[in-house]
Amino acid sequence: MAQERAHLEEEKKKFPHLFPENTWVDDRPILETLGIHIPGKEILPRGFLKIMPSDFLVEEISENGTQTDISVNNTTVPDEVGSTIYATLVKCGLSTLEAVEELAKLFGTTKDKIQYAGIKDKDAITSQQISVRGVSKEQVLSVSSPHFLLKEIHTGKGVIQKGGLKGNRFSILIRIGEDLYNKGKINAALEGLKKVRAEGFYNFFYLQRFGAPRLNNYKWGISILKGDYEGAIRGLISDPGLRELPYFLEKRQEIIRPAPDWSAVLERLREFPLTFPSEIKVVEHLANRPIDFAGALQKIEEQVTLWVSAVASLLYNRKISAHLLAGIKPPQTLPLFLSPDKNDWLPYAEDLADVGISPPNFNNLRPFRSVAIRHRDIKTKDMAEIHATEVIPEGIVIEFSLGKGEYATTFLSHFVNLMSGKVPSDIKGELVDVKLALGERPITETLKYFEKLNVSKKDRE
């Protein structure tokens, strides 16, 4: 791992033009590549998320409406009858999956003993409830980390179920540079927000569904649906990504060149274990069984499931956008085409033909048991409960609640052109207490606890 990092640093010194520091904007052209059409994008301001983890606060709302909080202050919760330990996990700089893995090591147990309702962001400060079995309360009480803490620890019955939440409450600072002083753009953002509050927002599957930074995982899903497993593997290794460094665009072409000599391909991939982990797993299998392409893809079945789901997401996005572009109100719900019911994929017949999978042959998915073929209706519009909004010198601060499975980025993209990558020079990077900016109780102690992790991207560049 360290060897790869050192090698890339040397390559960057030799070929700086292959390692540009880009600022990416989720504007109309990039979104429409993924089937997303949001009217009026060209007049909206540009805004940057997560310059600091404390710019993005997430507090989980349970099924019964109880909300966790990101304060580090511990509240005593009385024990109930039962051997399960419940706690609120407050974390920063780790995803939920990474935090659970670390907790399992500290407890000396396995990850399946630690349950949670939903996965929370890594580059954020978040809170959520977890349950632990097979571990004593004393063990749970003794655990802490610079990345997380456990509070409100108590005993009870049962376990937390995956998906067992009502939603999440977000408190977010969207940092805006010179566009903050453009009254037309800020008014457009506030009008967009007003419209979303009244009418809801279009429930598009956003960029993270398509595998950032490459944003093309749906292409490999299409290959799999065609039964072209080899094509999916070659695409995984060599397809150029929309936001990938030019260095790796060139490197991918160099790596695939010896195929079908998969041992030679593997040798080249192994120079970059951090960058190409999925590619390595697939090609390790092919090095021993050169034509077992389905078996190779089974080595990364979770990824395959995401690719196939991305195809359904792309077609769903396109269908909503087609209605909007035609000036027609989309239906309240749309089925995903991954269904045994012909009526669920007939609405997508034209798009399916366009990508070469009409009618879809779901037999090609049989090697991958985790891909679910079932009826699923998705609301084309969702409502956000907007609690507060403030325009401050750093940008727009907004607090809102979304139901489970709804993307905060999809909601925000209806009134801001979101940015990522290199932070523009006109955007301020100083610490802001988002809760205080919203007129709520400040989170001074939480910011102090995560001080070493809560570093501005501008200071890291």
User: Tokens at residue 455, please?
Assistant: 């570093």
For the residues 274-288, what does the mean pLDDT come to? 96
Q: Are residues 210 and 334 in the same domain?
A: yes
Whether the Cβ atoms of residue 458 and residue 423 lie closer than 8 Å to each other: yes
Contacts of 14 (CB under 8 A, 6+ apart): none
The three-state DSSP-derived secondary structure of 223-235 is HHHCCCHHHHHHH
* Domain presence at residue 152: yes
β-pair type (417-421, 46-48): parallel
* pLDDT tens string 99-135: 999 999 999 999 999 999 998 989 999 999 999 999 9
The pLDDT value given to residue 461 = 62
**Is pLDDT of 431 > 80?**
yes
* Domain presence at residue 312: yes
Q: Are residues 208 and 161 in the same domain?
A: no
Q: Are residues 172 and 310 in the same domain?
A: no
Alpha-carbon span 280 to 265, nearest angstrom:
9
Q: Are residues 63 and 163 in the same domain?
A: yes
Task: Please report, for the domain that includes residue 95, its CATH number.
Answer: 3.30.2350.20
The amino acid present at 2, given as its one-letter code, is: A
User: Tokens at residue 266, please?
Assistant: 């593997």
Phi-psi region of 205 (alpha: psi -120 to 50; beta: other; left: phi over 0): beta
Q: Are residues 224 and 286 in the same domain?
A: yes
Q: Residue 370: which domain range?
A: 1-37+204-379
Final residue in a domain of this structure, among 330, 346, 379: 379
Contacts of 438 (CB under 8 A, 6+ apart): 171, 388, 390, 397, 399
The single residue listed with the structure tokens 């679910």 is 372
Final residue in a domain of this structure, among 379, 407, 429: 379
Q: Are residues 221 and 329 in the same domain?
A: yes
The pLDDT value given to residue 406 = 86
User: Tokens at residue 204, please?
Assistant: 């598009």
Could you give the number of structural domains in the chain? 2
* pLDDT tens string 353-372: 999 999 999 999 999 999 99
Q: Are residues 104 and 176 in the same domain?
A: yes
The pLDDT value given to residue 272 = 95
- Quote the pTM value: 0.90
* Domain presence at residue 323: yes
Whether the Cβ atoms of residue 126 and residue 118 lie closer than 8 Å to each other: no
Q: Are residues 173 and 266 in the same domain?
A: no
* pLDDT tens string 170-214: 999 999 999 999 999 999 999 999 999 999 999 999 998 999 899
Percent of the chain with pLDDT over 90: 90
User: Tokens at residue 79, please?
Assistant: 């024990």
User: Tokens at residue 15, please?
Assistant: 């070929």
The neighbour count for residue 399, using CB atoms within 10 Å, is 22
* Domain presence at residue 42: no
Q: Are residues 17 and 104 in the same domain?
A: no
